[in-house]
A and B are shown apart, each in its own frame.
Chain A
Amino acid sequence: MRFYEYESKALFARHGLPTGAGSLAQTAEQARAAAAQIGGPVVVKSQVLSGGRMKAGAVQFADTPEAAARQFEAVWPIRVNGEQPRAVLVEAKSAVAHEFFASVTWDGRRKLPVLLFSDMGGIDIEEVAAQHPAHLSRTHFSTLLPLTERSAKEAVAAVGISGGDLNRLTPIVLRLAQLFLDCDLTLAEINPLAKLADGSFLALDGHVEMEAEARGAQQALLAELGIGEDETRQARPPTDFEREGARLNAADHRGVAGNVVEFDGDLGLVIGAGGGSLTLFDAVRRHGGRPANYCEIGGNPSVRKTRNLTRLILGKPGVGKIAVMMNVVSNTRVDIVARGVILGCLDAGRDPAEAIAIFRIPGSWEEEGFRILEKYGVEFCDRSVSMFEAAGRAVAKLGGAGA
């Protein structure tokens, strides 16, 4: 889950990292007041989660409070990758002598956190890595041993920095690494990390991401930053349909019948599990089908949970039929899922035989499940029909219905 720049900087400040004076504005008047309080040239920056705001023109400079108000008016309507800004950050413009880059992330290959440091900040770091590899250092550090200055010092020194700069940068990089570990982050990045004309350092921009698994452990911090429990902070905000799916899934702790993502097609998908859902979604699209949603069933959910998910999907405008499909299941039970989807159809006022295009879930308790499906006249298949083939049947059926 991503943080806005202003949240990232609040986190930096909390951990003793140097950030500039600034405040948020949601009106031109607030922007003017913020600039007046700073008293000097300012930068006006749109607060969005997606990248590329500079290119979109959503970062502007202003020398006076009046100019700041005008720049607010210019920046506020700009959608960056379709995203509406949450606010605009008005910050003092700094006299920058040099720009550095400091970042901490996970290296899944080495299975350790890695410090990335460069003396070529402000530009795309992938480009530095490709064009100027000597200017980018990678320093792994232990998660078991205490984190000490050594790792930070080596990261900075590795790109040829010595003297006073090395000694000023080391504690900054160390604090960034500590912040990364303490807050269960997957990314803690300062770019640019500016050296000012007076020799001090300042985080001009920040990019922080926290792992979703840590939401519980980091509750207090998230509350302090004002991040709501229903904010998924993915690439786009959740739709009402997705919110309802999450609510239904959370209402019952047994298994998973959720992780709903909305699409605009006509074929509702009641699919699972993690890998199976990815496989089946691909298969439906490969057959020319248009999925109305993505979802995951797994870990043997209760009948009620599958029922609610089915009703939600069938109730989505434009959904003609649903396809109920999974890989060969081990701990999820075929009969329990069968009961859930049939009840969901009945709830939605639909005949299961007509609403369910295909039921393809082989495995645990399949004989029992198939008996239920037979009774309701639902078309089903066992493992002799592949996931790909089952998806094809579902797509064909929907086409045949003239939906």
Chain B
Amino acid sequence: MPGTFIEVKVDAATAANPDLARQLRESCPVDIFAQREDGQLRIVEENLDECVLCDLCKKIGPKGAVQVIKLYE
């Protein structure tokens, strides 16, 4: 589910990779990414609208794997 202002899409392969998921969790200053018990990525919906557009997450994984979409555009 997207937030009101921000939606984050992560491709399936990246989300399933525990190492990339950890990097995403550590990179986000507003805790949009968490990990499930099996290490897979979980997006924390209630934090989506806190996104500060720092783009740090976009530098992780293959190019285009993580998309930050501004829903107000």
A355 to chain B, nearest CB (A): 15
Count chain B CB atoms within 10 A of each CB in A302, A303, A371, A372 and give the residue with the most.
A303
Q: Is B50 an interface residue (CB 8 A)?
A: yes
| A342 touching B52 in the complex, CB below 8 Å, given contacts A371-B72, A371-B73, A375-B72 | no
Contact flag A333-B49 (CB < 8 Å), given A302-B30, A346-B4: no
Q: Which chain B residue shows the least CB distance to A302? A: B50
Complex contacts, A304 vs chain B, CB 8 Å? 50
A339–B4 CB distance below 8 A: yes
Interface of B, secondary structure class, is loop
Q: Which of A302, A335, A342 contacts B4 (CB 8 A)?
A: A342
Q: In the bound complex, how far is the Cα of B5 from the Cα of A342, in angstroms?
A: 10
Least CB distance, A73 to chain B, in whole angstroms = 56
Chain A residue with Cβ nearest B51? A303
Q: Is A292 an interface residue (CB 8 A)?
A: no
Q: Does B44 contact A (CB under 8 A)?
A: no
Chain B residue contacts of A371, Cβ below 8 A: 70, 72-73
Q: Which residues from chain B sit less than 8 Å from chain A, CB to CB?
A: 4-5, 30, 49-50, 52-53, 70, 72-73
A residues whose Cβ falls under 8 Å from a Cβ of B: 302-304, 333, 335-336, 339, 342-343, 346, 368, 371-372, 375-376
> What are 23 A-B contacts defined by CB distance under 8 Å?
A302-B30, A302-B50, A303-B49, A303-B50, A304-B50, A333-B52, A335-B53, A336-B52, A339-B4, A339-B5, A339-B49, A342-B4, A343-B4, A343-B49, A368-B53, A371-B70, A371-B72, A371-B73, A372-B5, A372-B72, A375-B72, A375-B73, A376-B72
